[in-house]
Amino acid sequence: MLRRHARAACTALVAAGMALAGLQAGTATAAPDRNPTAKTAAQTLAATAAQPELLSAMQRDLGLTRPQALTRLANEAEAGATAARLRQGLGAAFAGAWVDGAESGTLTVATTRAADAAAIRATGADARLVPHGLTALERAKRALDRAATAEAPVRYVDVRANVLVVEEARAGAGARLVAAAGVPRELVRVVRTAEAPRPLYDIRGGDAYYMGGGGRCSVGFAVTRGTTQGFATAGHCGRAGTTTSGFNQVAQGSFQGSIFPGNDMAWVAANTNWTATPYVKGSGGANVQVTGSVLQPVGASVCRSGSTTGWHCGTIQQHNTSVTYPEGTISGVTRTTVCAEPGDSGGSYISGSQAQGVTSGGSGNCSSGGTTFFQPLNPLLQNYGLTLRITGSDPGPGPGEPQPGGTWAAGKVYAAGATVTYGGATYRCLQGHQAQTGWEPPNVPALWQRA
């Protein structure tokens, strides 16, 4: 159980690192770093610095008190780090991880090997033995994606149920898809849905930005590329060359790159009249700070800012979901319980102060509820060579202080499993993120493990 014990969780990770050494033949697990300045996961992700607007939305939409909301963010930060370390150690036996409880106080990690249970429990997590590894389920999902049509519009791995879910809009569509893809039937659960996901861009007027050809969308996150300032948004909002104007109808910039379908990512370069700031618009127009881009685990809280419906919160249901819109299939999006409506497309998803992604599409609305999907931000940043604007970063070494050197570099996007060198040592990335000064590998064991 990860209940309010950030430091205890960090101590448990040290024990887990040792216990994991015998989990997988051929997998080396080095002793943990002895860095007195290393930050806990909650400190790294600035969980205790969550701003009032975000906490208020979590209270309203998740039924929490303010202390519960703060505890939940801290628990989710620690759970994400614990799950990431276990995934590295368990290898192919890893079958997913998720958090539960009003305060995300319980982390569960699934494995296909009974012998792993003790090492999982040593971290403070619950262990669950399941028949299918996450890698095998995701491989099967890719086969379904290649054969999918709009009759079976959504596919994802439900890690809690250890099954590949296909949502069918027409009776028999799921079974036909499974047969066409050649996926073993025992891996799949077909569920009927009356909802048809669609991109959320079809309301015009009164929004954060307007496209030159008509329509409006929402700004995602402020970014820079060299000296150029701009923002990340959804690909279905515009194509390269599409001009934009801001919320005030003043000329703003133009789309520099856009991918849709396949993914749903784009970025807009702004002209010199606009300045990229490290904030997301909160309730009443207040600024909510962005301090990084560490993707949070299944079950974690997440809030969305959009120009149509404002602030709403919910939880992460599944990562790496595939959705078939009328325009085509997009893959690698995250499924959430947060509501959204047309015009919210491209807007910000944020967990605590960690940028998660930009609104893609969904079904339902914010009156009756619904399901929405976001394009994760880190692949977008990496694809276009963008740097997320953040607050509160460490200034790094001062004049005359030594530069440790190595292959690690601030501004680069690292995926889980990537390796770098820093200060003469090798480190393996635990959680995908864009590196920043102050997040050097020895300082953030939630993000890097010494190899």
Contact 41, 114 (CB under 8 A): no
Q: What is the average per-residue pLDDT within 418-444?
A: 96
372: left (phi over 0), alpha (psi -120 to 50) or beta: beta
Q: Are 431 and 300 in contact (CB under 8 A)?
A: no
Q: What are phi and psi of 374, to 5 degrees?
A: -120, 145
Model confidence at 397: pLDDT above 70: no
Which candidate, 354, 281, 286, places its Cα nearest to that of 47? 354
Question: Per-residue pLDDT averaged across 416-439, rounded?
Answer: 96
Instruction: Return mean pLDDT, the chain.
Output: 88
Secondary structure class of 449 (helix, strand, coil): strand
Q: What is the pLDDT of residue 21?
A: 40
CB 321 within 8 A of CB 335: yes
**Residue 17 above 80 pLDDT?**
no
Confidence check: pLDDT of 28 > 50: no
Average of per-residue pLDDT across 263-280: 92
Structure tokens belonging to residue 44:
């790294």
* 145 has pLDDT over 60: yes
pLDDT tens-place string over residues 79-105: 999 999 999 999 999 999 999 999 999
Tell me the pLDDT tens digit for each residue of 314-372. 999 999 999 999 999 999 999 999 999 999 999 999 999 999 999 999 999 999 989 99
Q: Residue 247: its pLDDT value, please?
A: 85
* Tens-digit pLDDT profile for residues 362-378: 999 999 989 999 999 99
Q: What are phi and psi of 429, to 5 degrees?
A: -75, 130
Residue 123 CA, distance from chain mean position: 23
- Model pLDDT, residue 210: 92
Q: Is the pLDDT of residue 151 over 80?
A: yes
Q: Tell me the C-alpha distance between 408 and 85, whole Å.
A: 19
Q: Which residue has the tokens 């299939």?
A: 329
Q: CB count, 10 Å around CB of 404? A: 15
Q: Is the pLDDT of residue 293 over 70?
A: yes
Residue 273: its pLDDT value, please? Answer: 87
CA distance 6 to 272: 43
Evaluate the CA torsion angle 287, 355, 223, 244 in order and state its sign.
negative
- Our measurement of the distance from residue 156's CA atom to the centroid of its chain's CA atoms, rounded to an integer in Å, reads 15
Amino acid 332: pLDDT: 97
* Pairing, β 279-281 against β 265-270: unpaired
Q: What is the pLDDT of residue 150?
A: 87
Q: Cα(196)–Cα(288) distance, rounded to whole angstroms? A: 32
Q: Could you tell me the two tokens for 173?
A: 């569509």
Q: Give the mean pLDDT of 292-318.
A: 95
Residues 247, 259: Cα–Cα separation, whole Å: 24
Contact 86, 20 (CB under 8 A): yes
Structure tokens at 386: 């963008």
Banded pLDDT at 214 (limits 50, 70, 90): confident
Q: Is the pLDDT of residue 196 over 80?
A: no
Q: Which pLDDT value is given to residue 34?
A: 58
Sheet strands side by side (includes 419-422): 419-422, 425-429, 448-450
Distance of alpha carbon 375 from alpha carbon 389, whole angstroms: 18
DSSP codes joined into one string, 209-252: EEETTS-EE---EEEEETTEEEEEE-GGG--TT-EEEETTS-EE
Best-predicted range by mean pLDDT (175-184, 198-207, 240-249): 175-184
Q: What is the 3-state secondary structure (H, E, C) of 285-353?
A: HCEEECCECCCCCECCEEEEEECCCEEEEEEEEEEEEEEEECCEEEEEEEEECCCCCCCCCCCEEEECC
pLDDT given for residue 46 in this prediction: 93
Cα 231 to Cα 333: distance, rounded to the nearest angstrom: 19
Neighbours of 275 (CB within 10 A): 9
Which H or E run contains 44?
A: helix 41-44
pLDDT at residue 219 greater than cutoff 80: yes
- Would you name the residues annotated as active-site residues? 236, 264, 345
CA distances from 167 to 150, 204, 313, 322 (A): 10, 30, 24, 11
The whole-angstrom separation of Cα 390 and Cα 404 is: 23
Q: Determine the Cα–Cα distance for residues 339 and 367; give it in Å rounded to an integer.
A: 9
DSSP 177: H
Tokens for 4, please give them: 């309010």
Predicted confidence band of residue 393 (pLDDT cuts 50, 70, 90):
low
Binned at pLDDT 50, 70 and 90, residue 140 comes out as very high
| 324 contacts 305 by C-beta, under 8 angstroms | no
Give CA 301 to chain center in angstroms.
Answer: 11
Top mean-pLDDT range of 94-108, 209-223, 301-315: 94-108
How confident is the model at residue 174, as a pLDDT? 96
Name the pTM for this structure: 0.85
At 129, phi and psi to the nearest 5?
-90, 125
Q: Provide the CA 204 distance to its chain's centre, in angstroms.
A: 28
The CA distance from 250 to 20, in Å, is 57
